[in-house]
Amino acid sequence: MAHTPIALTIAGSDSSGGAGIQADLKTFTALGVYGASVITAITAQNTQGVQDVFTLPASIISAQMTSIADDLAVHAIKTGMLADRATVETVVRGLARFNGVPLVVDPVMVATSGDVLLEPDAIDAVRTQLFPLADVVTPNLREAARLLDAPVATSLDEIEEQARRLLALGPKTVLIKGGHCQGDDATDILAFQSGSLRFSAPRIDTRNTHGTGCTLAAAIVARLAVGDSVPTAVSAAKAFVWAAIDAGRTLKIGKGDGPVDHLHTTRRH
C-alpha cells in the first residue's frame, strides 16, 4: 500500500489563523496531503499586526523534529518563520534526519504588516546554512533585496538578476515573488541553473492578502509531496494562491488586512 503523502511545516504560529503554521496546515488539507508541524515561535498576531513574539527554546524545536523523524514518512518540508540564529541552526541540524526529502525555504523576514520576524544575526545563517539545503527558496521582493544587501528590484529583468545571485548561494531553484511589483499582472520568476520560467496572473484589487507568502510555499510543498516536479508544483501553487486571493475578497475577518481563503475549493457560494 502506498504511503499517504505527508507534508511538514517548520514555522511560527499565527494566533489569527491567516499565516504561519495555521495557513500551512489549511493549505496542505485543501490540496489533499496530510500536514505535520514543528512550531518554532508563537506570535500574538492579528490582521492589524504582530503584537508579541515568543521564540520557543531550541531544545523543544529539536525534540519536535526528532519526534516526527522517528515516526512519519515525510514527503516534503517547508520552513517559514525561524526568528533567530539559534532556531535556524537547530532546524538545519534537525533536517539531517530528513535526508533526500524536498525542502522549500520561505525566508520569512517581515510580516505583511511590516513587523520584523527575523533577527538580523539570523540572516547570514539562512544564507549560508539553510539555502544550500533547499530545493526551492521563495523570497518576496523585499526579502530578496535584504538577503543580497541590494535595492528592491523594480523590473522583471532586475528580479531575474537577483534570483540568479540567490541561486549562487546554493539552492537548486529560486522563486522570487513579484506581487509587490507594479503592473496589471503579478509575475513570479523561477530561476534554475539552466534557465528560468515566469508565472503570471492578473493582479487582484484586495486588502485580504495576509498569509499569501506562507500559502504559496505550503502549496508548493503539498504538490512536491505528491510527486510533482518543481516547475509543475510552482505552477499549481500559483494557481491555488490566485484563487485563494480572489475568493478571499469577500471574507470579512478582522479590522485590517484579512487572510486569503485557503479553503475556497470547499466552500459553496
Q: Which three cell numbers stand for residue 12?
A: 511560527
Q: Regarding beta strands 136-137 and 103-105, do their DSSP bridges make them parallel or antiparallel, or are they unpaired?
A: parallel
Which candidate in 9, 47, 87, 212 is catalytic? 212
Which candidate in 9, 40, 79, 209 is catalytic? 209
Which candidate in 17, 94, 179, 213 is catalytic? 213
Task: Tell me how far the alpha carbon of residue 1 is from its chain's centroid.
Answer: 31
Among this protein's residues, is 172 annotated catalytic? no
Which candidate in 20, 80, 179, 211 is catalytic? 211
Which candidate in 17, 35, 179, 214 is catalytic? 214
DSSP codes, the chain: -PPPPEEEEEEEEETTSSSHHHHHHHHHHHTT-EEEEEEEEEEEEETTEEEEEEEPPHHHHHHHHHHHHTT----EEEE---BSHHHHHHHHHHHGGGTTS-EEE----B-TTS-B-B-HHHHHHIIIIIGGG-SEE--BHHHHHHHHT-PPP-SHHHHHHHHHHHHTTS-SEEEEB-TTS-SSEEEEEEEETTEEEEEEEE----S--BTHHHHHHHHHHHHHHTT--HHHHHHHHHHHHHHHHHHHTT---SSSSPBP-TTGGG---
Among this protein's residues, is 90 annotated catalytic? no
Which candidate in 26, 78, 177, 238 is catalytic? 177
Among this protein's residues, is 209 annotated catalytic? yes
**CB 183, CB 170: distance < 8 Å:** no
Rg for the chain, CA atoms, rounded: 17
Among this protein's residues, is 214 annotated catalytic? yes
Active site residues: 177, 209, 211-214
